Amino acid sequence: MSPLAEITRRYAPRFAEFAFEPAFTAAVDQHVAELRERLAASDPGLVPAPPDREILTDYALGFLDGLTETDWREPVGHDYAVCRLTAISWLVNLHSLIPPQRDPGR
């Protein structure tokens, strides 16, 4: 499974928390904005361009490596890493960055 697919599988369910956790929603929104800027996915238009899937994948791998090096464990609430991983998942979902899985029987 690709890193983006794995992050999305684990963190997309947290989108449901947006309905009752406005502080979490705001934090994830800030992380999305920072990721767009960091990955040069910003566009002068009103609708930001999607991030490049390969660049986002490389970023996600580096971020996950950093978490592994620090022996990070996902907390019950929301910390920086949870917000960042949820933001990555949000961008993946918003821009359909994961190619559809092929049916092995076809």
25-80 residue pLDDT tens: 999 999 999 998 888 755 666 677 889 999 999 999 999 999 999 999 999 999 99
For tokens 């660049």, name the residue.
55
Residue 13 CB partners (closer than 8 Å, separation 6+): none
- pLDDT in the model for residue 100: 72
pTM above 0.85, yes or no: yes
Instruction: Give the domain ranges of the chain.
Output: 3-94
pLDDT at 90: 96
Are the C-beta atoms of 76 and 67 separated by less than 8 Å? no
Q: Mean pLDDT across the stretch 7-27?
A: 96
The encoded tokens of residue 11 equal: 């963190």
What is the predicted pLDDT for the residue at 46? Answer: 65
Amino acid, res. 76: V
DSSP state of 76: S
Q: What is the DSSP letter of 48?
A: P
Please write the tens of the pLDDT for every residue from 87-102: 999 999 999 998 776 6
